[in-house]
Structure 1
Amino acid sequence: MLLAADHVRLMARYNAWQNAQVMRAIDGVSRKVLTEDHGAFFGSILGTLNHILWADQMWLSRFDASAAPPETRFEQSTTLTPTGAAWSAERFTTDGRIKAWAGRVHSIDLTGNLTFYSGSVGGEITRPVATCVTHFFNHQTHHRGQVHAMLTRAGLSAPITDLVFMPEEAQ
């Protein structure tokens, strides 16, 4: 699989744009609404947002040897932050880290293999770097789709998710 650095930077900007919209959508929403179980895989809006944030921090620690999230067990991924405001602050910081990492990536860095410990399989795993980076961005998009559905179900405004509608200033 060939993956270009420009695509990684585009996806990092898309991720930040999407998360900024989610931050606005949940701003001022009660903890009760954010933690209500909607029957999604991670239950609630906040639980799903926390899982995405946790996974992003885990993958960043693998891509650039930065610090992993404080809780590295998958089972705890939904409780990384206790409130929407805390999530927004941590999300903003993590999106900055993602964009900084993407800005340093060269296409050659996206070749070869990445070996890492996976708690999901309980051991070390080796996969192509390009596959891991593609998964990183796909994982965000997948679970944000679940958040979009839960926001809609809760009667809240859901963000525009189409990449082609990302504003120029985000690009």
Structure 2
Amino acid sequence: MISPSYCTTMARYNAWQNGQLRAAFAVLSAADWAQERGAFFGSIRATASHLLWGDTIWMSRFDGGDAPAGGIADSGALVSTVSEWSLARGLLDARIARWAEGLRPEDLDGPLTWYSGAVRAQVTQPLALCVAHMFNHQTHHRGQIHAMLTAAGSTAPVSDLAFMPAAPG
């Protein structure tokens, strides 16, 4: 279904996109960052916070590292400020990249079992499907943030995978 190469490409894409969001968020006022905009999680802040939470919970399942506190209902309040988000996001993007760079094809085989608070049950799915889901979830919520940035009068970042800068080195 997916390969280690797919994972490293998507980890790089994720970091590139979040770097662009970091720049876009840096020029927002605190009011624009937190303003209710009618999106699923409401504001740019809450959506970015939820995405940070979601990536952290998935990575805890993939690499055995720390999981975020709370559940989905609390995820929009994981961070309060742009600087708090920026620091946490940079650390998490590095964690995702390290994990992806260490993958071998066989590491993506087999099932993943976890307790899902969303459905309140133990769930087992193919690991590769869960990894693809994490990267898809990132794109989904960054698309919402893109729309909210545009609505706020900001210039939204370039999000086309085909235009991602070449890897250094």
TM-score normalised to structure 2 length: 0.97
SS of the counterpart of 1:150?
helix
Q: CA deviation at 1:106?
A: 1.0
Is 1:14 aligned with 2:10?
no
Structure 2 counterpart of 1:118, from 116, 123, 129: 116
Kindly provide the CA deviation profile for residues 135-161 of structure 1, in whole angstroms up to 9, marking residues without a partner as x: 000000000000000000000121000
Q: CA deviation at 1:170?
A: 6.1
Is 1:127 aligned with 2:92?
no
Q: Which runs of 5+ in 1 are unaligned?
A: none
Tell me, in whole angstroms, the C-alpha distance in 2 between the residues paired with 1:56 and 1:94. 8
Partner of 2:25: 26
Partner of 1:62: 61
Tell me, in whole angstroms, the C-alpha distance in 1 between the residues paired with 2:32 and 2:21. 14
Tell me, in whole angstroms, the C-alpha distance in 2 between the residues paired with 1:34 and 1:5. 35
Q: Which runs of 5+ in 2 are unaligned?
A: none
- Counterpart amino acid of 2:163? F
SS of the counterpart of 1:41?
coil
Tell me, in whole angstroms, the C-alpha distance in 2 between the residues paired with 1:94 and 1:110. 20
Partner of 2:153: 155
Tell me, in whole angstroms, the C-alpha distance in 2 between the residues paired with 1:18 and 1:170. 16
- Counterpart amino acid of 2:162? V
Q: CA deviation at 1:3?
A: 1.1
Tell me, in whole angstroms, the C-alpha distance in 2 between the residues paired with 1:99 and 1:65. 15
Aligned length: 169
